[in-house]
Chain A
């Protein structure tokens, strides 16, 4: 017995080594044989918690890519929605394009076709009198001067200057351009910027009979021929009534947050040239 203990003491390290190696091999063989190895796997609690924390962290690094993919998806969905929104249900018009329908009668007609392009904002200003936004798309991507630009939440502006790879957008925070706007009940007027804060737009001289409540949405119209119709400009924040003639002045809160703008859509109106050609002829004469 004494000799046995002496041997163990003498070869303790070797025995421990052999024991641990055998334990390892047992673990390996178990993992290879059994389906759910619960002892050593990344499913156990402590490791699971650590991996969860790591994937939370990873998520932040992936946000940019995720945002891009969502943007592309939105572009696709907007295109599909547009196809249904711009359907003309009048019958027997001489029309540009016919939609394929299941029955032979082709009376549903599509016009006003918008092409959406995504772009990332690389420079932005909100403090000037005319504010410009630079995006990373240019003529090579099909951007042309005069295209309207919207964000995910609302109206942004119009393309003003284009180079091969960049474009400069005159945002609606500018006193160069007024936006033709309408309320839900159909009263339309144009909005102007108050030249100071990117959070405030004005709609002056609204007729007294228009029933306006705080929180009403204001949309673009197609009258101005620069912006697509029914894009949200902002919501009514404050209503001021002129005591002399009862006309109302509205302060709007823009739908787009110009300070934190990151991604925009550039809209190409395929029917724009034709419409301009038609509308400009009488003016010249």
Chain B
């Protein structure tokens, strides 16, 4: 399938998943029924799964569009966009640090468990996701007053987000794809 159509489709699927399904799942930290409400976020995965050789300016613009789309559904006006643009900017650096060869050598490939192996992929997605959550929840609360509950929120959301991201990858990406 054409790489553009594929990514546009993935954009739609991920936004619909995030906005219509995951947003409805509000989980409670089990010791505090009223406090530390968190939502799993799967939409940063769109940025994570773009092809290796995507230029940084395109990543930034796509991240901004993705963030604003999610923002307009959740009425959070720029909070998601802010966090997503940040991870879109840092994505190339993280990949450069993790991958053995230069990124331009991976033609027509996208980051996946097959290309990178389990551990590097988990480090790559985990680092960017936790950064995204940290920025998002900090902007959301806009203070470090309740630092403990903020960290709890980030941690709990991170665990559930990673769970959903792994499930998404196992479900929706072909594991034995031939290297085109």
Interface residues of A (CB under 8 A from B): 12-13, 16-17, 20-21, 23-28, 30-32, 37, 39-42, 44, 46-47, 50-51, 54
Bound: A32/B64 CA distance, A: 20
> Do B60 and A20 touch (CB < 8 A)?
yes
Given known A20-B85, A42-B73, contact A28–B60 (CB-CB < 8 A): no
Which of A16, A37, A46 meets B57, CB within 8 Å? A16
**CB interface residues, B 50-74, toward A, < 8 Å:** 56-57, 60-61, 63-64, 67-68, 71-74
Contact A13 B77 (CB under 8 A): no
Our pick among A24, A30, A37, A40 for the contact of B85 (Cβ within 8 Å) is A24
| A23 vs B64: C-alpha distance when bound (angstroms) | 10
Whether B86 sits at the interface, judged by CB under 8 Å, is yes
Q: Tell me the minimal C-beta distance from B90 to chain A in angstroms.
A: 9
Chain A residues with CB under 8 A of B89: 13, 17
> Which listed residue, B57, B61, B64, B74, touches A12 by the CB 8 Å rule?
B57
Q: Which residues of B contact A24 (CB under 8 A)?
A: 64, 67, 78-79, 81-82, 85
Which residues does chain A contribute within 8 Å of B56, judged by CB atoms?
13, 16
B166 interface contact, C-beta 8 A: no
In the complex, how many residues of chain B place their beta carbon closer than 8 angstroms to a beta carbon of chain A?
A: 24
Chain B residues with CB under 8 A of A25: 78, 82
Instruction: Tell me, rounded to whole Å, the shortest Cβ–Cβ distance linking A264 to chain B.
Output: 34
Kindly identify, within residues 67 to 116 of chain B, every residue whose CB is under 8 Å from any CB belonging to chain A.
67-68, 71-79, 81-82, 85-86, 89
Q: In the bound complex, do residue A21 and residue B82 qualify as a contact, i.e. CB atoms below 8 Å apart?
A: yes
Taking CB atoms, residues of chain B closer than 8 Å to A31 are 76-78
State whether A20 touches B72 (Cβ < 8 A). no
**B60 and A17 form a contact (CB under 8 A):** yes
Contacts of B67 in A (CB 8 A): 24
| Contact among B72, B86, B139 for A40, CB-based, below 8 A | B72
Whether the Cβ atoms of A21 and B86 lie closer than 8 Å is yes
Task: Report the 5 A-B pairs with minimum CB-CB distance, sorted nearest first.
Answer: A31-B77, A27-B78, A24-B82, A24-B78, A28-B78
A12 partner residues in chain B, CB cutoff 8 A? 57
The answer on a CB contact under 8 Å between B71 and A13 is: no
Instruction: Kindly list chain A residues whose C-beta atoms are within 8 Å of the C-beta of B86.
Output: 17, 21
CB-CB < 8 A to B168: which residues of A?
Answer: none
CB neighbours (8 Å) of B73 from chain A are 42, 47, 50-51
Residues on the B chain within 8 Å of A46, using CB:
72
Residues of the B chain whose Cβ atoms lie less than 8 Å from the Cβ of A20: 60-61, 63-64, 81, 85
Could you list 8 A-B pairs, sorted by A, with CB under 8 Å?
A17-B86, A23-B81, A26-B78, A28-B78, A28-B79, A28-B139, A40-B78, A47-B72
What distance in Å separates the Cβ of B70 from its nearest Cβ neighbour in chain A?
10
Determine whether the beta carbon of A21 is less than 8 Å from that of B71. no
Give A24 to B139 CA distance when docked, in angstroms: 11
Q: Cβ of B61: which chain A residues have Cβ within 8 Å of it? A: 16, 20
In the complex with contacts A16-B60, A20-B60, A40-B77 CB distance below 8 A: yes
Contact partner of B75 (CB less than 8 A), chosen from A13, A26, A42, is A42
Knowing that A17-B89, A41-B75 are A-B contacts, what are 18 other residue pairs whose CB atoms are under 8 Å apart, sorted by A's residue number? Answer: A13-B60, A16-B56, A16-B61, A17-B85, A21-B82, A21-B86, A23-B78, A24-B64, A24-B67, A25-B82, A27-B71, A27-B78, A27-B81, A42-B72, A46-B72, A47-B73, A50-B73, A51-B73
Check: B29 CB closer than 8 A to any chain A CB: no
User: A20 vs B63: C-alpha distance in the bound complex, in angstroms?
Assistant: 10
B20 near A: Cβ within 8 Å? Answer: yes
Across-interface contacts of B139 in A (CB, < 8 A): 28
Chain A residue nearest in CB terms to B68: A40
B141 CB, nearest partner CB in chain A, Å: 13
Let me know if A21 and B77 touch, CB within 8 A: no
B residues within 8 A CB of A39?
Answer: 77
Q: How far is the CB of A67 from chain B (nearest CB, A)?
A: 22
B-chain residues with CB within 8 Å of residue A54 when the two chains form the complex:
20
| Max chain B Cβ within 10 angstroms of own Cβ: one of A16, A30, A39 | A16
- Chain A: minimal CB distance from B169 (Å): 26
In this complex, which of B61, B75, B77, B85 has the most chain A Cβ atoms within 10 angstroms of its Cβ? B77
Q: Report A56 CB to chain B, min CB distance, Å.
A: 12
Across the interface, which residues of A come within 8 angstroms of B72, CB to CB?
40-42, 44, 46-47
Kindly report which residue of chain B lies nearest to residue A22, judged by CB atoms: B82
